[in-house]
C-alpha cells in the first residue's frame, strides 16, 4: 500500500492548523514531522509545543523524524506529544539497538533513518525489529534539495534485503521527491512517500491530487 506523508517543515507556519486540515482532506495518511537540533543537522526546527499543538489538528499518523544527536533523551517527550511513529538516525545513536527497544517499549512504531552515504549494513542486526526504514535522498537539514540519484539503487537493495528475510518493513523515502521522480522511487521499492515543497508550494490540493493519481497506477 502506498502512503503519502506530507512534511510539514514546508508548511505555512502562520496557518499550520489550516494546512494540516487541507492535507488531511486531500488524502494524506501520515503527517511527517521533522525535528532538528542544530547539531546533528545545521538547522533547528519544530519544538515540542508546536508539535503538540499540531497533533491536536489532525488524527492522521504522526510520523516524527528525529534528526537529533542522542535521540534517546527525547523519546518520552515525543510520545507524550502524540507521536505514532518515531524515526531515529543510525548515525546519531551510540546504542542503536537500545534506543530502538526504548521506542518499542513505549508502544509506538519505530523507524531508523540512513543518510545518503550510510551503508545498509548498519541495519543488519536490527532490521527485524523495525517497522520502517527511512532512506534519506538528500543530505538532511534543509528542504527543497535535489534528489541524489544513487538513492534509487539503495532503495532497491533495501527492498531485496527486506524480502530476503520475509519481513514486511515499510520503506519511506524523504528528500527531493517530486511528481516527476516518484514513479522511479515507487518502482525501486518505497511505499511511504515524504514530500514537502512538492506538496506545500502552490495549491496543496492540486499537488496532493497529482501524487495520489500516480499512486493509483500501482494499485493491484
7 a known binding residue?
yes
Q: Is 34 annotated in the active site?
A: yes
Q: Is 59 annotated in the active site?
A: no
176 a known binding residue?
yes
Q: Which of 19, 34, 37, 63 is catalytic?
A: 34
**187 sits in which H/E element:** helix 182-188
Q: Which of 37, 63, 170, 174 is catalytic?
A: 174
Task: Determine phi and psi for 24, rounding to 5 degrees.
Answer: -60, -55
141 a known binding residue?
yes
59 a known binding residue?
no
143 a known binding residue?
yes
The DSSP result for 93-154, as a single string, is: -SSHHHHHHHHHHTTSEEEEEE-TTS-GGGGTTTGGG-SEEEEESS-SS-SSPPPPTTHHHH
65 a known binding residue?
yes
Inter-CA distances, 169 with 47, 111, 161, Å: 28, 9, 10
174 a known binding residue?
yes
144 a known binding residue?
yes
Q: Is the dihedral of CA 156, 154, 177, 88 positive or negative?
A: positive
Cβ(175)–Cβ(147) below 8 Å: yes
| 109 CB-side CA count, 13 A | 15
Q: Which residues are annotated as a binding site for substrate?
A: 7, 65, 141-144, 174-176, 196-197
* Catalytically active residues, by annotation: 34, 174
**Residues of each annotated binding site for a divalent metal cation:** 32, 34, 65, 174
Task: List binding-site positions.
Answer: 7, 32, 34, 65, 141-144, 174-176, 196-197
Amino acid at each position: 500500500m502506498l502512503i503519502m506523508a506530507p512534511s510539514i517543515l514546508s508548511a505555512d507556519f502562520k496557518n499550520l492548523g489550516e494546512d494540516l486540515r487541507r492535507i488531511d482532506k486531500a488524502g494524506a495518511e501520515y503527517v511527517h514531522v521533522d525535528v532538528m537540533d542544530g547539531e546533528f543537522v545545521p538547522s533547528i526546527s519544530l519544538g515540542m509545543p508546536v508539535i503538540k499543538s499540531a497533533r491536536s489538528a489532525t488524527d492522521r499518523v504522526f510520523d516524527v523524524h528525529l534528526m537529533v544527536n542522542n535521540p534517546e533523551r527525547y523519546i518520552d517527550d515525543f510520545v507524550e506529544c502524540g507521536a505514532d511513529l518515531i524515526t531515529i538516525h543510525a548515525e546519531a545513536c551510540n546504542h542503536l539497538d537500545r534506543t530502538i527497544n526504548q521506542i518499542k517499549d513505549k508502544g509506538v512504531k519505530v523507524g531508523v533513518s540512513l543518510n545518503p552515504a550510510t551503508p545498509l549494513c548498519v541495519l543488519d542486526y536490527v532490521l527485524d525489529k523495525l517497522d520502517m526504514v527511512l532512506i534519506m535522498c538528500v543530505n538532511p537539514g534543509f528542504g527543497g534539495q535535489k534528489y541524489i540519484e544513487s538513492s534509487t539503487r539503495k532503495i532497491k537493495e533495501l527492498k531485496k534485503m527486506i524480502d530476503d528475510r520475509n519481513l514486511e518493513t515499510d520503506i519511506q523515502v524523504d528528500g527531493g521527491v517530486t511528481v516527476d521522480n516518484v514513479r522511479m522511487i515507487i518502482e525501486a521499492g518505497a511505499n511511504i512517500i515524504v514530500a514537502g515543497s512538492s506538496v506545500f508550494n502552490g495549491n496543496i490540493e492540486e499537488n496532493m491530487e497529482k501524487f495520489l493519481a500516480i499512486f493509483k497506477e500501482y494499485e493491484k
